[in-house]
Amino acid sequence: MSKSKGRQVTQNENIIDINKKKCIGCTGCAIGCTDITGISVLKVTDDGKRTVVPKKGTFNNTGCIYCGQCTLICPTTAINVRNDVNKVKEALNSGKYLVAISAPALKATLGEEFGLPIGTDVEGKVQASARKLGFQKVFDTDFGADMTVLEESNELIKRLSTKENLPMFTSCCSAWVRWVELFKPEIINNLSTSKSPQQMMGASIKTYFAEEFKILPQNIFLLSIKPCTAKKYEAEREEMGRDNYKDIDAVLTVREYSELLKEKGIDITAIASEQSDSFMGTYTGGAAIFGASGGVMEATLRAIAYYLKDDISKINDIRFNSIYGTEGAKESSISIGGKIIKVAVISTTNEVERFLKDDKWKEYDFVEVMACPGGCINGGGTPRILKKSEITERKCIRCGTCVENCPVGAIEFNARGYAETSKEKCVGCTLCSKICRTKAINIINYDKSTGESLKESYIKLRANVLKNIDKKSIKKVSVENSELKIMYEKYMGEPDGEKAQSLLHTKYTDRSKDLIVQMRKKKR
């Protein structure tokens, strides 16, 4: 009892929190963090109860990139992202001009929080629901994705002509950018200086939109609804704003936004879809696919083909090959405008480490990186997937490891002496599948709306939503976005030009020394 009285029950931090009361010590989050990020932020501790904590005392000190994958893996919601719903509720009553933007991935994920099958397209539901909350303008971040493509494609064309800082790595994934700053600062100059779609939207709304509608930027409350937990960190970076205001005032994940809607009695299945407001409301097919791994690459190559007057349709037929020594990386070479461009698409920072292990990475021209497996549609703030373990009896050697280590007692020996899972007790922590030496245990994903096991990957089902939106789009190249053209003509000037550089581009910081200093302080 003496230990439990002195135990810190909740570890509250800036982005990720741990509630030790809820933690069952399954270590699924710690194992997943190591597998996905390659950082291994968490460790097991026992101060009267087996739980997990950051290795260096805090998530920040340990080098967490805030991808939030641990919050998806945790079966009891003991580890979760900071909840900003109250901040948004306060803004709803603040008298400020309310603007909401939502990421492409919302179209493919929000429905799951309201009982719809995985892979349901809910395009237009954010617009309708946000207006019911009281937001005066609602835009898709897809408009910002088209903006990012314009800036990034022009930036890449310039780098290809000068052969400087190649390959150029994408920079729209904020968790990946933080990983570079912390663990690989020597490639900072290889990152595209183009801001993410979220931050381009924020900068444009607080300047271009504010000036056109004659609203002081300080009087605008801009909410960004995202599948990503690291976007909270990105929005708070000191360079993401000007004149003593932030471009993005609050970020809600898909889970948080659905929580807010349910609290306000708004069911997206009971309201009709609505379009984004005009002015910054249009987007192309190239913007929609930003939410899935490979989408940023494809959208940017389409724009480059457009600028170099080449056949855009061949971009849709790129043949990728797996990169030797990796599991989540693929490569291709494509001829555009008489230039051979060698590209790579990488999912998870653990795979990036493998990709960068020798100098072969320097042979590429353009590399897309997403920190989350499958991209934003599987971001740390997306709906959690129902999981259960399943044991193949013929592979079981009856060692009892899974039986002894299951934190909820869901695995027992059956009448034949082999391990068997009780589906009713299983919480889907995935620990058993990680420790089974004969790989007799598989994790089965289920659709919560039907209770049936998934025949296809949930990531693929979500990605198909965005791909279908792209297929149906009349305009597939970001350069063809009509409202974006007007913005550049009236306000931004040339892509990658002086004003665009000021508002839509950024710089990065070598943060590796911060880790070293923090580690030394800890040792003292």
Please write the tens of the pLDDT for every residue from 176-193: 999 999 999 999 999 999
Residue 164 and residue 187 in one domain: yes
Q: Indicate whether 66 belongs to any domain.
A: yes
User: Residue 514 domain-assigned?
Assistant: no
Residue with token string 């939030």: 68
Q: What was the pLDDT predicted at 100?
A: 98
- What pLDDT is recorded for position 6? 41
pLDDT at residue 66 in the model: 97
pLDDT value of residue 514: 78
In a domain, 522, yes or no: no
Report the C-alpha gap between 211 and 193 in whole angstroms: 25
- What CA–CA distance (Å, rounded) separates 37 from 27? 15
Same domain for 209 and 98? yes
123 and 204 part of one domain: yes
Is the pLDDT assigned to residue 103 strictly greater than 50? yes
Active site residues: 152, 155, 172, 192, 231, 234, 239, 376
Q: Is 0.85 topped by the overall pTM?
A: yes
Specify whether 266 is located in the same domain as 400.
no
Q: Specify whether 92 is located in the same domain as 211.
A: yes
Same domain (yes/no): 288, 408: no
Count Cβ atoms below 10 Å from residue 343 Cβ, excluding itself: 22
Q: Residue 336's domain spans which residues?
A: 146-194+283-380+459-498
Please indicate, yes or no, whether residues 134 and 219 belong to a single structural domain of this protein: yes
Q: Three-state secondary structure along 9-53?
A: CEECCCCEEEECCCCCCCCHHHHHHHHHHCCCCEEEEECCCEEEE
33 & 89 share domain: no
pLDDT, position 25:
93
Look at residue 517 in the predicted model and tell me its pLDDT: 59
Mean pLDDT of 251-270: 98
Which pLDDT does position 468 carry in this prediction? 97
* pLDDT tens string 65-97: 999 999 999 999 999 999 999 999 999 999 999
> Exposed (0-12), middle (13-18) or buried (19+): which is 430, by Cβ within 10 Å?
buried
The answer as to whether 6 is a domain residue is yes
Nearest to 39 by CA among 523, 371, 509, 379: 371
Q: What percent of the chain has pLDDT over 70?
A: 96
Q: Are strands 137-140 and 168-169 parallel, antiparallel or unpaired?
A: unpaired
Q: Which of 317-326, 339-348, 425-434, 470-479 has the lowest mean pLDDT?
A: 317-326
Q: What is the pLDDT of residue 106?
A: 98
Q: Strand pairing of 97-102 and 220-226?
A: parallel
pLDDT in tens, 320-379: 888 877 778 999 999 998 889 999 999 999 999 999 998 999 999 999 999 999 999 999
Determine the Cα–Cα distance for residues 378 and 461; give it in Å rounded to an integer.
11
CATH of the domain at 92: 3.40.50.1780
Whether 517 is covered by a domain: the verdict is no
Q: Are residues 365 and 490 in the same domain?
A: yes
Flag whether pLDDT at 12 surpasses 60. Answer: no
The confidence score (pLDDT) of residue 524 equals: 47
The pLDDT confidence band at residue 5, using thresholds 50, 70 and 90, is very low
So what's the pLDDT on residue 519? 52
Q: What is the pLDDT of residues 18-31, one digit of tens each?
A: 998 999 999 999 99
Asked if residues 312 and 475 have their Cβ atoms less than 8 Å apart, the reply is: no
pLDDT digits (tens, 9 = 90+) for 31-52: 999 999 999 999 999 888 899 9
Flag whether pLDDT at 232 surpasses 50: yes
Same domain? 183 vs 69: no
Residue 523, token pair as written in the block: 């040792």
* Contact in structure between 330 and 396 (CB atoms under 8 Å): no
- Quick check: 516 pLDDT over 80? no
CA–CA distance, 461 with 315 (Å, rounded to integer): 22
Q: Domain end: 28, 56, 80, which one?
A: 80
438 residue type, one letter: T
Using one digit for the tens of pLDDT, what is the confidence trace for 200-224?
A: 999 999 999 999 999 999 999 999 9
Domain count of the chain?
4
Say what angle helices 295-307 and 142-162 make with each other, to 10 degrees.
60
Give the CATH number for residue 330: 3.40.950.10
Nearest Cα residue to 32 out of 52, 10, 12: 52
Three-state DSSP at 122 gives: coil
> Which residues have C-beta within 8 Å of that of residue 56, sequence separation ≥ 6?
62, 63, 518, 519, 522
In percent, how much of the chain has pLDDT > 90?
88
Minimum mean pLDDT among 7-21, 96-110, 286-300, 305-319: which range? 7-21
Residue 72 located in a structural domain:
yes
Whether residue 218 is contained in a domain is answered as: yes
Mean pLDDT of 445-461: 95
Residue 358 domain-assigned? yes
Q: How confident is the model at residue 450 (pLDDT cuts 50, 70, 90)?
A: very high
**Domain shared by 73 and 170, yes or no:** no
pLDDT score at 1: 33
d(CA 91, CA 87): 6
Q: Residue 507 pLDDT > 90, yes or no?
A: yes
114, burial (CB in 10 Å: exposed 0-12, middle 13-18, buried 19+): buried
Mean pLDDT of 8-19: 73
Q: pLDDT at position 505, please?
A: 97
Q: What is the pLDDT of residues 111-161, one digit of tens each?
A: 999 999 999 999 999 999 999 999 999 999 999 999 999 999 999 999 999
Which phi-psi region, left, alpha or beta, contains residue 137 (left: φ > 0; alpha: ψ -120 to 50)? beta
In 10 A of CB 291, how many CB atoms? 31
The token pair at 505 is 């581009």
Do 23 and 63 sit in the same domain of this protein?
Answer: yes
Q: How far apart are CA 14 and CA 1, in angstroms?
A: 30
Q: What's 52-65 look like in SS3?
A: EEECCCCHHHHCCC
Residue 70 belongs to a domain with what CATH number?
3.30.70.20
CA 225 to chain centre: 12
